[in-house]
Amino acid sequence: MTFWAWVVFLLATAYTIGDGLRRTAGAKTMEGFFAAGRSIPWWAAGLSVMATQLSAITLIGGIGMGYENGLEWVQFYFALPFAMVVLCIWFVPMYRTHPILTAYQYLERRFGPVTRTLTSLAFLMSRCLAFAVVLYAPAVVFAAMTGLPIAVTVWVTGLLTTAYTVIGGVGGVVWTDVKQMIIIALGVLACFLVLLWQVVGELSFAGVLTVLGAAGKLNPVEVYDPTWTAVPALASAPENGSFWADKYNIWTGLFGTLFLFLSYFGCDQSQVQSILTSKSVDASRRALLMSAFTKIPLQLLVLLIGGLLFLHQSLGREPVLFSPDDQALAAGLTGASRADYEQAALDHEKASAARQQAMQALANGSAQTDATALTAQYRNAVQAAVSARSAARKAAYAPQIAKAKANGTTFAAPSDANYIFPDFIFRELPKPVLGLLIAAIFAAAISSAAGALSSLTAATMVDFYKRWLRPQASDAATLRASRVAMAGWGVAATAAAVSLGGGPLLERVNEVGSWFYGSILGVFVLALAMPRADGKAASAGLVSGLLFVFLLNNTVQIAYLWFNLIGCVICVGVGAIVTLVTPHRAAAARI
C-alpha cells in the first residue's frame, strides 16, 4: 500500500461510516434503534438489501470462483426473482400488518411463545455462524495490507465493526449500505475496465470471448450429466457421479436456492429488518423487487471479472501460491521437501508457458486454421497447468501431509481461492484505484457485518430479553442492554470466525445458512398455509427439520443447497402429521 492508496481508502471509508453515524445519532427508542423509525425510503432499503448481499464475500469469494469456474455460480441466483415475488405477495403484508420489530414476533401471535423462542434461537445460531464467515473476507485483505496474521486481522475487523454498529443502530447500517453500493459500483467497474483493457490489448475482444468460451468460463448453466468429466478448476464435477452430490447445476439453482432465498429474505431477521424499516407495504415490496432484478447482472459482472483475471494471469506468470500462508510454508521448506517443491514450481512455470502459447494461438487463429484442434490443444494446456499448480501446492504442504499420514489421518491443503483477487489488486492495480477498491471491500464488510449484528441484537432483545427476562423494561434500559448484547455477539462471532473462515467464502456462508434456513421457512409455511396447525405442530416440525438436516450433513453425500428444500419439507410434513393426529381445537389466530 502506497501513501495515495491509503489516503483514498481512509477518506472513502471515513465518509461512509461518518455519514451513517450522523443520520442515526438520535436513536433513543426501540423503534429508532432497530427499525430506524420506519422512515427509510424504499430505494435506500432496496440498496441495503443489495449491499448486504454484495458483501466482501461476494467481491473476494465471487471473483475467486469466477477465476476457477467462470459464470457457473450465477445459476445459484436464477430462483431469486421468483422468491422475491412470493415474498412480496405473502410475507411483506404479514409483517407490516402489525408494528413488530422481529420476524419471530409474528410466530407468537400465530403459534405461541415456545415456537417463537425456538425459531428465534435457530436464527441466532445460523446468523452468528454466517457472520463469523463474513468477517473472514475483509480480514484476508487486511492481512495482505499489513502483513499481520489472519487471526489478528479477524479480531481487528470484528471489533471495529462491532463498535460501529453499537453506536449507529440499524439506521446507520442502512445509510452506510447506500454509500457502500456507490463505492462498490465504482471499485468493481474500475477493476473490470483495467482487466478488460489489459487482456483485449493482448488478445483482441473477439479473442477474449473465444478463449473464455474454450476455457468453460462463459457457461452460466450446467445440466447434470453423469458421464461428463470436468476439467479441474473449470467446473464443479459431480462427486462420485451422484446427482444429489453435484453442488451447482440448473436444478439446485432453481429449487434448492428457491427455498434458501425464501427463507433468507423472508425469515432471516438480517433481511426482514430492511423490510420493517421502510415506510409502507408498497415501499417494502419495491425494495425487494429492486434487489431481485439487479442481483443477477451484478453477480455476472463479478464472475466475469474472475474470468478476465484468469486470462490476465494466463498471459503473464500465474503465481504458484496465492495465499501468504502458503508462501510462508514454501519459504520454510528444507532438504528434500525444498527440492521437490522447487521442481514442482518449475513444472508449473513450464505448463503455464505452454498454456499461454496455446491461448494466443487460439485467440489469433485465422479462418483457415482448425479451430477444433486449437480449442482441444488449449483445453489440454489449461488442464496441465491446473494440475501442475495443484502438485506444487501439495509439495508446499508435504511436511503436513507426511505428519498426518504418520498419525493415520489425512490432510487436505486449504483452498486459496479467497486470495486470488487480493493478490492481483495489491500487485497490479493503479494505487488510487487500489485504495478505492479496498474501501469498497471494507464498506461491504462493515455493512454486512453490522446488518448481522443489529439483527442478532434485535432478536435477542425483543424475543428473549423483553419477552422473558424484563418485559417491563423501559426503552432506555433496553437500549443500554442492547448495546451490551451487540458487543457480546460481536466478540462471539469474531472468535468463531478464526475456525470457520477456511474454504471458498461464498460457498461457506451459504452452506452454514442452509443448515437452518429450510426448517425456519417451514415454520412460516405452516403459519400461512395450515390454519389448523398449532404451536405443538410447528415446534415439532422445526426441531425435526433441523435434526434431519444435521444428520444428512454428517452421514450422506448430498449438496448443501438441497438442505433448504429438505428442511422445509420435513418441517411442514412433521407439522402436518402432528396436526392430523392432534384433537382439533379452535384455529390459532392469524395476523
**Three-state SS letters, 452-480:** HHHHHHHHHHHHHHHHHHCCCCCHHHHHH
Q: How confident is the model at residue 450 (pLDDT cuts 50, 70, 90)?
A: confident
Q: 175, 170, 171, 169: which is closest to 44 by C-alpha?
A: 175
Contact 133, 500 (CB under 8 A): yes
Residue 184: exposure state from Cβ atoms within 10 A (0-12, 13-18, ≥19)? buried
With a cut of 50, say whether residue 244 has pLDDT above it: yes
φ, ψ (nearest 5 deg) of residue 480: -65, -45
Contacts 24+ apart (CB under 8 A), 466-473: 467/108, 467/113, 467/116, 467/117, 468/117
pLDDT band at 21 (very low <50, low <70, confident <90, very high): low
Mean of pLDDT values over 522-530: 95
Q: What is the pLDDT of residue 25?
A: 53
**Res. 453: pLDDT tops 60:** yes
Among 291-295, 403-407, 425-429, name the most confident range.
403-407
Q: At 520, is the pLDDT very low, low, confident or very high (cuts 50, 70, 90)? A: very high
Q: Cβ–Cβ contacts within 10 Å for residue 337, how many?
A: 17
Residue type present at position 233: A
Set of cell numbers at residue 414: 486449504
CA–CA–CA angle 421, 183, 457 (5° rounding): 90
Read off the pLDDT band of 458 (50, 70, 90): confident
35 falls in which pLDDT band (50, 70, 90)? Answer: very low
pLDDT at 26 over 60: no
Least confident segment among 195-199, 243-247, 410-414, 580-584: 410-414
- Give pLDDT, residue 30: 54
pLDDT top residue among 259 and 477:
259
Please say if the pLDDT value at position 492 is more than 80. yes
Average model confidence (pLDDT) for the chain?
82
Are the C-beta atoms of 45 and 283 separated by less than 8 Å? yes
More confident residue, 321 or 451: 321
Residue 54: name the closest of 559, 509, 512, 513 by CA.
509
Q: At 287, is the pLDDT very low, low, confident or very high (cuts 50, 70, 90)? A: confident
Confidence of residue 412 (pLDDT cuts 50, 70, 90): confident
The region that residue 390 occupies, defined by phi over 0 for left and psi between -120 and 50 for alpha, beta otherwise, is alpha
Report CA 51 to chain centroid distance, whole Å: 12
- Which one is predicted more confidently, 147 or 69? 69
Which of residues 415 and 559 earns the better pLDDT score?
559
Q: What is the mean pLDDT of residues 335-342?
A: 94
Alpha carbon distance 135, 156 (integer Å): 10
Helix H or strand E segment including 552 = helix 535-555
Q: How confident is the model at residue 228 (pLDDT cuts 50, 70, 90)?
A: very low
Mean pLDDT of 214-231: 68
The letter for the amino acid at 400 is: Q
The per-residue pLDDT for range 108-131, each reduced to its tens digit, is: 989 999 999 999 999 999 999 988
Q: How far is CA 495 from CA 50, 96, 140, 461, 569, in A?
A: 27, 36, 16, 22, 33
Residue 560 confidence (pLDDT) above 90: yes
User: Which amino acid is present at 72?
Assistant: E
Q: What is the pLDDT of residues 192-212, one digit of tens each?
A: 888 999 899 899 999 999 999
Residue 28 predicted with pLDDT over 60: no
pLDDT attached to residue 227: 43
Instruction: Look up residue 306 and give its three cell numbers.
Output: 474472475
**Mean pLDDT on 454-473:** 90
Mean pLDDT across 80-90: 92
Query: Residue 190: pLDDT band by 50, 70, 90 thresholds?
Result: confident
Average pLDDT over residues 133-148: 80
Where would I find the H helices in 364-397? 371-396
At 298 the pLDDT is 82
Q: What gap in Å lies between CA 429 and CA 432, rounded to an integer? A: 8
What is residue 235's predicted lDDT score, i.e. its pLDDT?
37
Place of cell 471499485: 187
Quick one: pLDDT at residue 49?
60
> Residue 425 is placed in which grid cell?
489488486
For 87-101, 178-192, 290-304, which range has the lowest pLDDT when averaged over its residues? 178-192
* pLDDT score, position 478: 85
For 260, the grid coordinates are 434458501
What's the predicted TM-score (pTM) here? 0.84
Mean pLDDT on 3-23: 67
The answer to whether 337 touches 399, Cβ cutoff 8 Å, is yes
More confident residue, 55 or 438: 438
Over residues 549-576, the mean pLDDT reads: 94
